[in-house]
Amino acid sequence: MNIRHRSPASAAKAIAPAMSVPPTPDAVTAPAPTRPGLLARLRERVSWLGMIGGTLVLFWLLIACIGPLIAPHQSGTITSGDVFGTYSAAFPLGTDYLGRDMLSRILIGTRFTVGIALAAAVLASVVGISFGLLAAVSPRWVDEVLSRIFDALVSIPSKVLALVVIAAFGSGNMLLIGVAAFAYIPGAFRISRALAVNLMTLEYVQVARARGEKLFYIARVEVLPNMIHPMLADFGLRFVFIVLLLSGLSFLGLGVQPPNADWGSLVRENISGLSEGAPAVLMPAIAIASLTIGVNLLIDNLRRRGAFGPGGAK
């Protein structure tokens, strides 16, 4: 019987088709998961109410920066003989009790309302957080002394304190910033201290203390980064409180002084037009309401959606 012998190479070629198996679905390489973009992550964490609040906040921050540049008239220029004028093409928001353009006065006054409140809120938060961290990482007697001092200060009504200080020293932008910040430092201290005391009991902080790290290092590296997000929420609320405080002082004539004017001053100046439904008294009030509501919507949404994480820490 004639038997054909094949070389190993030819034998391998002959059996290769029989051994080839089509790839199974599991063998197909799955595409790498794509990381959601910034807008997608923002939609997950912010609802449409939060979007509205954020838009209002960004709008007024932008106006505070560019308002004086885009105002059609100077703040004190009398542009019309018609006092408490209604809406028109020349004066979209009407005129005030002297015939001045209300659109220009609101645009220019935004930097005083937003700027003073923002500076006071930043100062109050920075000082309050600093003392709160100091109380949390220091010996017990330091914590007791600081806590008693700020407990005494928080019992003083903010408006009464502002009235007394301004009546004694007069009104000025820097004084308004200082008074508003001083009034809300105790609240920032109490919240930051409570957060820091809770964080000081966690294991990673105890490990840092066991390593012999200094208190300043523990406060700056281990504690502060983990309380930033809840303190940002508190900062937003304090900003709203300060806006309302400054608007109330301006309405009483103790806030920003002429020829400058913030939103509270604009309401006070034109209050006599309220019975006529004049835009000059309605528009500044709407501006105050829109800013405070916008900040509240944004902060409340971030809390409900968990953007600050469980218990406020991300």
Q: What is the pLDDT of residues 58-98, one digit of tens each?
A: 999 999 999 999 999 888 888 877 888 888 888 999 999 88
State residue 106's pLDDT score. 95
State residue 313's pLDDT score. 40
More confident residue, 9 or 182: 182
State the pLDDT confidence band at 18, using cuts at 50, 70 and 90.
very low
State the pLDDT confidence band at 24, using cuts at 50, 70 and 90.
low
Say which DSSP state 101 is in. Answer: B
Distance CA 96, CA 286 (A): 15
What residues form DSSP beta bridges with 78?
Answer: 100
Residue pair 241/184 in contact (Cβ under 8 Å)? The answer is yes
What residues form DSSP beta bridges with 100?
Answer: 78
Tell me the pLDDT tens digit for each residue of 141-185: 999 999 999 999 988 888 888 889 988 888 889 999 999 999 999
Mean pLDDT for 102-123 is 95
Domain 66-73+93-306: which CATH number of 1.10.10.10, 1.10.3720.10, 3.40.50.1860, 1.10.1760.20: 1.10.3720.10
Mean pLDDT for 249-255 is 89
State residue 198's pLDDT score. 92
The reported pTM is 0.79
Domain spans in the chain, listed from the N-terminal domain onward = 66-73+93-306
3-state secondary structure of 27: helix
State the pLDDT confidence band at 16, using cuts at 50, 70 and 90.
very low
State the pLDDT confidence band at 37, using cuts at 50, 70 and 90.
low
Of 179-188, 208-217, 302-311, the range with the lowest mean pLDDT is 302-311
Indicate if the alpha-carbon torsion angle 127, 129, 134, 140 is positive or negative: positive
State residue 33's pLDDT score. 57
Q: How far is CA 83 from the centre of its chain?
A: 37
